[in-house]
Amino acid sequence: MKIVFSKEYTARTPGHVFRADKFEAALKLLLKEGVVTNNDIAEPLPPTRADLLLAHAPAWVEKNLRFIFTPRDSARAQLEITRGVARAHLMNVGGTILAARLALKDGIGINCGGGSHHAFGGHGEGFCLLNDIAVAVKKLLKERLIKRAMVIDLDAHQGNGTASIFRRDRRVFTFSMHGAEIYPEKKEKSSLDIGLRPGAGDAVYLALLKQELPRALDKFRPEFAVYAAGADVYEGDALGGLKLTMRGIKKRDAFVFSECRRRGVPVALTLGGGYAHKPGNTVKIHANTIKAALACACEEGT
């Protein structure tokens, strides 16, 4: 199994709650533990203009490719858009495209990054500039490699950008479980939104997931899925508020992969948000999610 990663993911965001170095730290942890080796790392290519135009407006694509952002663009994204930040978002799009292709080939594709689900077609929001999930799905559809796709978004925050981009696209089912009372204040309409109260915890969260995800998979019957596995559902997260334990998150991840595997649905993994008061915990959660994906791939291969 290949792990998609680029060192360009690691943009400097000093003092910001979003630590762009968390993806690289998760990979380093996996390397240290011997779970993966350097030979397992696959370097993505940046997306083309044509790729970005599949999900984004021409004016926004030009801003990202030519680095001509305004202060208002940074304010809306709640992130200072430096050249490094812009490049990181571009490379994350390339990473999810590659992970999607690997998923179709191997059953599971892993981007050690990605998950920028707050990016809309014409602007950035919520620390996100480009919607790597939407671009990757649209690309597979355009190339007629798939006919139906599902986005399984289990980040603590609703994937409002993804929901907006796919609102009128019946080929894509957007499934979102998220905090009902946190960002974004104005929610978009996903195919299925499951809003949770603060402090939901493992039992409530997992019961709803086990009830609703299989139903959605069986009803829509996707040929491909992107899993946005946000770490911000964790009980020690500064922004999420759903208060899942590490053990609960492991169960969440294992369930998603197993349900897709049972139905023969290839899955591309993106890691998404994570803002633990102790940054090392976010890194550990991301690493555990990748381990769950690798374990599922091993089971599939036996």
Positions marked catalytic: 118
| Distance, CA of 250 to CA of 268 (rounded, Å) | 17
How far apart are the C-alpha atoms of 149 and 159, rounded to whole Å? 16
**Are the CB atoms for 11 and 82 separated by under 8 Å?**
yes
Bridge partners of residue 103, in order along the sequence: none
- Eight-state DSSP code of residue 237: B
- Could you tell me which of 89, 106, 78 has the C-alpha nearest to residue 55? 89
The amino acid occupying position 12 is R
Q: Which residues of 184-207 are buried (b: 16+ CB within 10 A; e: fewer)?
A: eeebbebbbbbebeeebebeebbe
Contact 213, 175 (CB under 8 A): yes
3-state DSSP assignment of residue 259: helix
Tell me which residue of 105, 3, 86, 1 sits closest to 44, measured CA to CA. Answer: 3
184 upstream amide cis, omega within 30 of 0: yes
